Amino acid sequence: MADKFTHLLDRLEQFNSNEVVKYESNYLRGTIDAGLKDPVTGSVPFNDTLLLKFHGIYQQDDRDLRAERQHRFLEPNYQFMVRVRIPGGLLTKQQWIGLDDISRKYAERGLRITTRQTIQFHGIRKGNMKKCMQALRNIGLDTIAACGDDSRGVVCGGNPMISAIARKVQEIARHTSQRLIPKTGAYPEIWYEESRPVQPVDAEPMYGPLYLPRKFKVGFVVPPTNDIDVYGQDVGFIAIVQNNKLLGFNLCVGGGMGQIDAREDSYPRLAQEIGFVQTEEATEVAEIIMGIQRDYGDRQDRHQARFKYTLDRLGMPWFLDELQKRRGKPLAAAFPVKFTKNGDDIGWQCGDDGLWQGTLYIESGRVNGALRDQLAALLQQYEGGIRLTTNQNLQLTDIHDYALPHLKIRLEDLGLDTLLKPNLQAAYTISCVALPTCGLAMAEAERYLPEFLPKFNQIKAKYGLEKLPITLRITGCPNGCARPYIAEVALTGRAPGLYNLYLGGSHTGNRMAKLYAKNVNEMKILTILNDLMQRYKLLADSDEKFGDFLVRTTLLDEAAAPVEHA
């Protein structure tokens, strides 16, 4: 095995400390098992916190309680976030019921639908971790590579319930996820307590003992809806459909949203379309590109380790050449592609197979309290499937004509019908988790959205813009978990109550937004938006999107040097 990776192992001494932790972990085992059994602390040793990520788990602590516990000389309120692997967001009804059950038994704050269409649990205690993971296995789910330096949950847009093409793309996304996950036996050993077979010589044939330099994200999308924000993925596949047949995919590479305000050499980046691959080549191409990033990604500086930086450092001609060498042939030319929208179609839709689906708006993806109970009650008499979206919403899928009237009545009886017709803006708005669980949050996001959104809507209403969809994203820090830098309007947290305001991304997610004002509070943000929407009302072309208007009328030039207001 090692031979395949000597080019990396020979340089281990030059690499950052995470690389050494991975190398010494015996393929992600570390001392995780022993740490879970230590009753003295609610935490696990530091190195194991790094390894746990590959198992889909983050050690966190409740930040609302930090100061008080410190004052009382107590250790932080340690708890774990568990992220499930649900490629393409597809679940059966039984799986949802199982997830709901896990959330009640082991988690706090219910279930959280993420911006990569999976479920996260928050607040799981160390002593419950194995039970949680085994309960997931019992419903046919796992958390492998949901976090960590590996290929993360593969996202798939285009709504597989609506067309045969999208269903095919969904299958490829699932297959790709399966192919790209680590193959180490550590996962079943630790979580399911399966006995350890003799370690194969090639324990990680694709990854090797150092895995990837950083996270790696793959997504599939079916135009005309760019619901997954394909240009924000490390590797994106855009379905090309002709005469109702899936020809293959335009390939785009090098997207990424993360940035650190303190580092000028960090930046969000749009993926570039570089060519076309046949349908049956997609998974292999994803694997090849992952291999290139494994071999050439920066393993010294983790802040420069994402694939987008590898591309910018080594150059696109180099990358295309390397890809061609590894594939044995060049890419075909990309097809012209047009996206016309983003977000989800909330409400009812009928697929080409005559089955219905209802998309429910879930604010910030949080399913807890009454909503969790209402959905649980609904599922008691429900025969369809479930799909989670990258806009944090939940779809009821595969509903036959004959079942629809009854389902509509049940939704009404349970008070869930309102989620099928929220305010239009809601469908274009997402926020990340942020406080109290996210260790990197500098400001509120999920808990701020319910305050901010009505105020945003009030301004829209003042200028009669209720029917104008504007992609709006809020994050608690610059990391960009709600993909803010491609939104028409975005707030990224800087400090409690203060945000950077980004404006002018395209509605379809293929143009970057620009930093308009730095460190602004709510009053300033609302004043700026009020001013811009007033101008939009007066000057916009008919059907012009808000982001396009800001760019066309060069209002964004004002931001050449973003205003600092703190």
**Among all residues, which ones are annotated catalytic?**
83, 152, 215, 217, 432, 438, 477, 481
Stretch near ligand SRM under the rule CB under 6 A, chosen from 69-77, 173-181, 381-389, 476-484: 476-484
User: In the numeric block, which tokens belong to residue 386?
Assistant: 């479930």
Q: Which amino acid is located at 180 in the chain?
A: L
User: In the numeric block, which tokens belong to residue 553?
Assistant: 């009328």
Residue 483's binding partner out of ligand SF4, ligand SRM, none, with CB under 5 to 8 Å set by partner kind: ligand SRM
Please check whether residue 239 is in contact with residue 222, taking contact to mean a CB–CB distance below 8 angstroms. Answer: yes
β-pairing, 108-113 with 514-520?
unpaired
The continuous run of DSSP H or E covering 36 comes out as: helix 32-37
SS3 434: coil
Residue 144 φ/ψ region, left for φ over 0, alpha for ψ in the -120 to 50 degree band, beta for the rest:
beta
In this complex, which beta carbon is closest to ligand SRM, that of residue 203 or of residue 259? 259
Shortest CB 547 distance to ligand SRM, Å: 19
Q: What is the residue whose two structure tokens read 């972990």?
A: 25
Residue nearest to ligand SRM (CB): 258
Beta bridge partners of 272: 253
Count residues binding ligand SRM (CB under 6 A): 28
Stretch near ligand SRM under the rule CB under 6 A, chosen from 88-96, 158-166, 253-261, 450-458: 253-261
The continuous run of DSSP H or E covering 188 comes out as: helix 186-192
Please check whether residue 357 is in contact with residue 404, taking contact to mean a CB–CB distance below 8 angstroms. Answer: no
186 binds ligand SRM, rule: CB under 6 A: no
In this complex, which beta carbon is closest to ligand SF4, that of residue 115 or of residue 128? 115
Q: What is the residue whose two structure tokens read 């982001």?
A: 547
In this complex, which beta carbon is closest to ligand SF4, that of residue 115 or of residue 304? 115
Among 147, 441, 453, 515, binds ligand SF4 (CB under 6 A): 441
Count residues binding ligand SF4 (CB under 6 A): 13
Residue 306's binding partner out of ligand SRM, ligand SF4, none, with CB under 5 to 8 Å set by partner kind: ligand SRM
In this complex, which beta carbon is closest to ligand SRM, that of residue 9 or of residue 440? 440
Residues in the chain: 566
440 binds ligand SF4, rule: CB under 6 A: yes
- CB-side neighbour CA atoms (13 Å) of 316: 8
Among 232, 248, 351, 505, binds ligand SRM (CB under 6 A): 232
Residue 437's binding partner out of ligand SF4, ligand SRM, none, with CB under 5 to 8 Å set by partner kind: ligand SRM
Among 117, 479, 510, 519, binds ligand SF4 (CB under 6 A): 479
365 binds ligand SF4, rule: CB under 6 A: no
449 binds ligand SRM, rule: CB under 6 A: no
Shortest CB 478 distance to ligand SRM, Å: 8
Stretch near ligand SRM under the rule CB under 6 A, chosen from 38-46, 351-359, 435-443, 502-510: 435-443
Separation between Cα atoms, residue 416 and residue 421, nearest integer Å: 10
Residue 499's binding partner out of ligand SRM, ligand SF4, none, with CB under 5 to 8 Å set by partner kind: none
Residue 272 φ/ψ region, left for φ over 0, alpha for ψ in the -120 to 50 degree band, beta for the rest:
beta
Residue 477's binding partner out of ligand SF4, ligand SRM, none, with CB under 5 to 8 Å set by partner kind: ligand SF4
Please check whether residue 480 is in contact with residue 259, taking contact to mean a CB–CB distance below 8 angstroms. Answer: yes
438 binds ligand SRM, rule: CB under 6 A: yes
Q: What is the residue whose two structure tokens read 């890809």?
A: 323
Separation between Cα atoms, residue 414 and residue 103, nearest integer Å: 21
258 binds ligand SRM, rule: CB under 6 A: yes
Among 176, 392, 475, 500, binds ligand SF4 (CB under 6 A): 475
β-pairing, 366-367 with 155-156?
unpaired
Beta bridge partners of 248: 240, 278
In this complex, which beta carbon is closest to ligand SF4, that of residue 51 or of residue 432? 432
User: In the numeric block, which tokens belong to residue 66?
Assistant: 């930090």
CA dihedral 537, 539, 544, 548 (to 10 degrees): -110
257 binds ligand SRM, rule: CB under 6 A: yes
Among 209, 384, 480, 547, binds ligand SRM (CB under 6 A): 480
In this complex, which beta carbon is closest to ligand SF4, that of residue 222 or of residue 486? 486
SS3 82: strand
Q: DSSP for 90-104?
A: EE-HHHHHHHHHHHH
372-400 burial: b if 16+ Cβ within 10 Å, else e: bebbbebbeebebbbbbbbbbbbbbbbbe
Stretch near ligand SRM under the rule CB under 6 A, chosen from 433-441, 453-461, 502-510, 513-521: 433-441
User: In the numeric block, which tokens belong to residue 86?
Assistant: 């649900």
Stretch near ligand SF4 under the rule CB under 6 A, chosen from 263-271, 321-329, 476-484, 500-508: 476-484
Please check whether residue 339 is in contact with residue 510, taking contact to mean a CB–CB distance below 8 angstroms. Answer: yes
Shortest CB 186 distance to ligand SRM, Å: 20
Q: What is the residue whose two structure tokens read 């269409």?
A: 117
DSSP letter assigned to residue 445:
S
434 binds ligand SF4, rule: CB under 6 A: yes
Among 222, 360, 433, 498, binds ligand SF4 (CB under 6 A): 433
Residues 388-407 that bind ligand SRM (CB under 6 A): none
Q: Which residues are at the interface with ligand SRM (CB under 6 A)?
A: 58, 60, 81, 83, 114-116, 118, 120, 152-153, 217, 232, 256-258, 306, 365, 432-433, 437-440, 479-481, 483
Q: Which residues are at the interface with ligand SF4 (CB under 6 A)?
A: 432-434, 438, 440-441, 445, 475-477, 479-481
